Structure 1
Amino acid sequence: MKTRAAILERSPIDAPFAETRPLRIEEVELDPPGQDEVLVRIGAAGLCHSDLSVINGDRPRPIPMALGHEAAGTVVSIGAGVHDLTAGDRVVMTFQPSCGQCLPCAQGRAALCIPGAEANGKGVLLSGGIRLHDTSQDPIFHHCGVSAFADYAVVSRNSLVKVDAPDIPFAHLALFGCAVQTGVGTVLNTCRVQPGESVAVVGLGGVGLAALLGALAAGATDIIAIDLSDEKLKLARELGASRCYNASEAGVADRIRADSGGGVDHAVELAGAVPAFELAYKITKRGGTTVTGGLARPTSQFSIPAVNLVAEERTVKGSYMGSCIPKRDIPRFINLFRAGKLPVDKLLTGILRLEEINEGFDRLHRGEAVRQVIVFEEEQSPSDSAI
């Protein structure tokens, strides 16, 4: 079948993207789903820094590639071997497929699935197959096994979570595939924040603000928001942050440590930048934990005082996909959203058409947007008042 898709034909490409047009909307060939694969009609797909990092070359990937990894949609048809989904089911896509068979999967660490990571790096589905082709039948690689900036996508069954959510607009459901999974999961799964503890979030994009909401849901009593944007700090305050700090201020680390009585229990870095991680480490208290869930450039390095790590019994951890088990956590987070304890709809800062995607990435690049979502099924889009 034919489908429209946003194709990245070269990388790196510099902003302004409205002029350089890195993503071209093209009609491409989409093969039917193979063994253990599913054809999905995309309802909505979010613009994320992980897409931007492929465009600007920070995360090299095979080209040409159909981008988009944070999405929700409706099952259209299923391939052989899929027995637990039917046409019409609503699904949230997850950007790291988990095979269920490798050692990390067997240990309950789906985010670290070895075949899933290898497939993502090669730009193929979990089966190793490629289902997208141009008009000359040359392959178009898949982004994170999803390629959701398209009307339709064929994905592995292991990239999908079925959700019972007919009442939730796709523009909201899409956020659970990446921003919510990564941000909320980092706080609840990786940090295991307990009621009464203190949490600092460094980097207030969609993932960082989702982490802030996760800290509120966990019962943290002192939640500190840190960013370079005063607008995002304002939004963090509206969402429930106890205190906000602009990271550009001189002596900000010393000020935060003083204001928090020696530092925070958990400092979470979600900016994907070494200076942000170093700030997070500086504001972590003795015996505390510093977690990074931001994907920095592959060449980036950080340094910390070794004696300080030992003498203060500090913990430094990475968090990928919020240490989530998607089948368990995505429905759990949706239930928190329904209960009013995780208002992720407040992270939406724009609803776009597919044709506006390059301009959307300009806003993301300039730090002017939290989460912009491309909506394909207009009848499911939220009202203007929800944005």
Structure 2
Amino acid sequence: MTTTIGTDSFSIPQQMRAAQIVEYNQPYTLSIVAVPQIGEDDLLVKVYAAGFCHSDFQVLQGQFPAPLPMIPSHEPVGIVVQVGSKATKRFKPGDRVGVLNFKHACGKCVGCTSTLRTSGRTDPRFCEQREAAGFRHDGAFAEYMVADSQTSVALPSSISFEQGAPLMCAGATVWGALCKALPALHAGDTVGIVGIGGLGHLGVQFAKALGYRTIALDNRAAGRQLAAEISEDLRPDLTVDSSAEDAGASVLRFTNGVGLGAVVVCTDSVPATSWSLGLLRTGGVLVPLGLPAEKWQFDSALMVFRELVIKGAYVASRDQVEEMLKVVSQHDIKSHVTSVSLDDVPDIVRRYQQSDFKGRLVVKI
């Protein structure tokens, strides 16, 4: 099967290399599997890079049960090599793309119809029948993958594949969280980012690029060092050891006793998320991004007497991701990336769990 663009052609093989979850809590297995077939609104993407996310670790632990074997990873970028008959208006073979993990919305369920009523268009993020690549359906640790043209975005040439991959989940998630907080922020407000890993490292840069004073908070030396290594114009205005006894006092001093306008929590730690609520000014917004196995707990008195807001955030929409990519290009925002090969995937969890690990793991395929 060959799709032609200009004088170039993409020969699509029948089989491909992939890493799979064959059994929960066991290393990924390298396999040879069939190249997937696309539907009329789909793209076949040759994957050039795919990220490893904390939620990939949770998937491997069985927190999101799915039929096995399954190809993991939901942070892919690559090149379109085949286009479905209904997707030709947005994409063509040879296009550089990023792929978001929610796809194939049904357009009929409550999630689809409710977003259609409130926003004038169906939002596939909330479809009850959506496919979730890398969570419950095959993802991106493979040479090829199926992408939904409706939830894929053009990847600017200024963003490399290695840098583009983390933006499809880490970037989209923390950007979406900031979008939730923006309506409540005032001029002069300070934004806190708790947990400076793959998400928080980008969150600090996004908040700075949007013009807010920013505080990075982490109890790990590796996280605080990562914040210090951000380029000077995007570096946080203050970095705080969140485990220090005076951490909260440091935030209050920096904000002249007011507190943070918003705080985005990029960790699944229940104590850290609960503690972060107390950093907010009156009317401030907390956006927790972790998915802990246990339930969050919040101080009801703080919420009531400061009229604080806690907002859920899933992941940015396609339109929001396109805006994010413009900001990334304009401000040269970067992830701290450690690249590995597909052959290294069975060892990727061990590397991720090392206490001194910083930033994001990206598989080059």
- Using structure 2 for the length normalisation, give the TM-score: 0.84
CA pair 3-159 structure 1, distance change in 2 beyond 3 A = farther
State whether residues 337 and 360 of structure 2, in contact with CA within 8 Å, keep that contact through their aligned partners in structure 1: yes
CA RMSD of superposed structures (Å): 2.3
1:172-191 to 2 correspondence within 5 Å? 172-191=163-182
Structure 1 residue identity aligned to 2:202: A
Task: Find the counterpart in structure 2 of residue 87 from structure 1.
Answer: 93
Task: Provide the C-alpha distance between the structure 1 equivalents of 2:212 and 2:175, rounded to a whole number of angstroms.
Answer: 13
Task: Find the counterpart in structure 1 of residue 161 from structure 2.
Answer: 170
Are 1:267 and 2:263 counterparts?
yes
Structure 1 residue identity aligned to 2:19: A
State whether residues 226 and 358 of structure 2, in contact with CA within 8 Å, keep that contact through their aligned partners in structure 1: no
Task: Provide the C-alpha distance between the structure 2 equivalents of 1:271 and 1:36, rounded to a whole number of angstroms.
Answer: 35
Are 1:302 and 2:306 counterparts?
no
Task: Provide the C-alpha distance between the structure 1 equivalents of 2:346 and 2:251, rounded to a whole number of angstroms.
Answer: 37
Cα deviation for residue 148 of structure 1 reads: 0.5
Q: Aligned with 2:128: secondary structure? A: helix
State whether residues 98 and 113 of structure 1, in contact with CA within 8 Å, keep that contact through their aligned partners in structure 2: no
Q: Which moved more, 1:349-358 or 1:100-109?
A: 100-109
Task: Provide the C-alpha distance between the structure 2 equivalents of 1:76 and 1:82, rounded to a whole number of angstroms.
Answer: 13
CA pair 39-351 structure 1, distance change in 2 beyond 3 A = same
Deviation string, structure 1 residues 139-177 (Cα, Å, up to 9, x no partner): xxx5365611111112322331234x2343211222221
1:130-145 to 2 correspondence within 5 Å? 143=135
1:287 to 276, 283, 287: 283
1:158 to 150, 153, 165: 150
Are 1:64 and 2:54 counterparts?
no
Cα deviation for residue 302 of structure 1 reads: 2.5
- Using structure 1 for the length normalisation, give the TM-score: 0.80
Structure 2 residue identity aligned to 1:103: T
Structure 1 residue identity aligned to 2:252: R
Are 1:317 and 2:329 counterparts?
no
1:1-387 to 2 correspondence within 5 Å? 1-11=14-24, 13=25, 22-84=27-89, 85-97=91-103, 99=105, 101=107, 102-106=112-116, 107-108=118-119, 110=123, 112-115=125-128, 118-120=130-132, 143=135, 147-163=139-155, 165-192=156-183, 193-221=185-213, 223-239=214-230, 240-260=235-255, 261-297=257-293, 300-321=294-315, 324-326=316-318, 328-339=319-330, 341-344=331-334, 347-367=335-355, 368-376=357-365
CA pair 167-119 structure 1, distance change in 2 beyond 3 A = closer
Q: Aligned with 1:374: secondary structure? A: strand
Cα deviation for residue 258 of structure 1 reads: 4.5
Cα deviation for residue 358 of structure 1 reads: 3.1
Q: How many residues align?
A: 337
State whether residues 191 and 289 of structure 1, in contact with CA within 8 Å, keep that contact through their aligned partners in structure 2: no
Task: Provide the C-alpha distance between the structure 1 equivalents of 2:124 and 2:189, rounded to a whole number of angstroms.
Answer: 26
Task: Provide the C-alpha distance between the structure 1 equivalents of 2:295 and 2:250, rounded to a whole number of angstroms.
Answer: 26
State whether residues 52 and 365 of structure 1, in contact with CA within 8 Å, keep that contact through their aligned partners in structure 2: no
Task: Find the counterpart in structure 2 of residue 384 from structure 1.
Answer: none
Structure 1: runs of 5+ lacking an equivalent: 14-19, 124-141, 377-387
Task: Provide the C-alpha distance between the structure 1 equivalents of 2:236 and 2:329, rounded to a whole number of angstroms.
Answer: 21
CA pair 98-307 structure 1, distance change in 2 beyond 3 A = farther
Cα deviation for residue 283 of structure 1 reads: 1.2
State whether residues 23 and 358 of structure 1, in contact with CA within 8 Å, keep that contact through their aligned partners in structure 2: yes
State whether residues 104 and 114 of structure 1, in contact with CA within 8 Å, keep that contact through their aligned partners in structure 2: no
Cα deviation for residue 45 of structure 1 reads: 0.6
Q: Aligned with 2:277: secondary structure? A: helix
CA pair 63-173 structure 1, distance change in 2 beyond 3 A = same
State whether residues 188 and 218 of structure 1, in contact with CA within 8 Å, keep that contact through their aligned partners in structure 2: no
CA pair 100-334 structure 1, distance change in 2 beyond 3 A = farther
State whether residues 19 and 72 of structure 2, in contact with CA within 8 Å, keep that contact through their aligned partners in structure 1: yes
Task: Provide the C-alpha distance between the structure 1 equivalents of 2:333 and 2:149, rounded to a whole number of angstroms.
Answer: 28
Structure 2 residue identity aligned to 1:375: K
Q: Aligned with 1:115: secondary structure? A: coil
CA pair 306-208 structure 1, distance change in 2 beyond 3 A = same
Structure 2 residue identity aligned to 1:218: L
Structure 2 residue identity aligned to 1:354: L
